[in-house]
Amino acid sequence: MDNKTLAELLVEVRAKRPLIHHITNYVTVNDCANATICIGASPVMAHARDEVAEMVSMAGALVLNIGTLDDAQVDSMLIAGAKANGLGLPIILDPVGAGATRLRTATAYRLINDLDIAVVKGNAAEIAVLAGAEGNIKGVESYGISRDPLEVAKALAKKMGLVVAISGATDIVTDGRRALLIDNGHPLMGKVSGTGCMAASIIGSFCAVSRDYVTASAAGFAAFGLAGEKAASHCRGPASFKAALMDEIYGLTPESLIKEARVREA
């Protein structure tokens, strides 16, 4: 992977400032909005059924997150998703907690089956559940899977015809054929609520400016992980890390991505 490509995508995000429409969970909505702003895109958090189709018409990408789902939210996701599909806009789905309850799992499958999803971004257990493999999940936290996560990701990508992005110590992005591994990141990113949701927002920002959703997702993971590394170098713990993370996302430069992104072919 040529890191110049990643840097060029960051430049394009900041030049175009695409609107990223979120229908997301109330635990991390503010964090996702701020991460989107700091990477250089523009967030909107609209979920009312009567406006989501109109709002997504102005957007460059749609991010769906089922972390605090209810029936009304799912209806809004389907309405917005259908409009996004009609406009050819990428949809990024974060199936938070898939496998924890029947409702979450069924909702994730429904969204994947009813909509043309560009990227499914989840942790290893969530992706394993959707791929029909064994995933150990409690609440919304992943406690590992019984198979190689790269093979699970490839299987789901091939089956569903989309890009799969798994967050972890080493992030994985694949469309079932091509696969990229991203080694940027820091353990403190797992000590703050919402980093997975923020990652989906940043991936959505990159997908809004590139049809190569494998590269765009890898760029999002690399940018976010690199910001996490930099934030961890000058914080005291999770609280100060979270503030520093936003600063580092904002301060990320194309030059730093070229020099410090660690993206490799699998």
Write out the chain's pLDDT in tens, 266 residues.
Answer: 799 999 999 999 999 999 999 999 999 999 999 999 999 999 999 999 999 999 999 999 999 999 999 999 999 999 999 999 999 999 999 999 998 899 999 999 999 999 999 999 999 999 999 998 765 554 445 445 667 899 999 999 999 999 999 999 999 999 999 999 999 999 999 999 999 999 999 999 999 999 999 999 999 999 999 999 999 999 999 999 999 999 999 999 999 999 999 999 99
Known binder of ligand: residue 167?
yes
Q: What is the pLDDT of residue 7?
A: 98
**Residue (of 180, 147, 109) closest to 155 by Cα position:** 147
User: Which pTM does this prediction carry?
Assistant: 0.94
Is the sign of the CA dihedral 96, 99, 101, 102 positive or negative?
positive
Q: What is the pLDDT of residue 139?
A: 46
Known binder of ligand: residue 194?
yes
Q: What is the pLDDT of residue 1?
A: 79
Known binder of ligand: residue 158?
no
Q: What is the pLDDT of residue 140?
A: 45
Is the sign of the CA dihedral 196, 40, 120, 266 positive or negative?
negative
Q: What is the pLDDT of residue 134?
A: 62
Whether CATH 2.40.160.20 fits 3-265: no
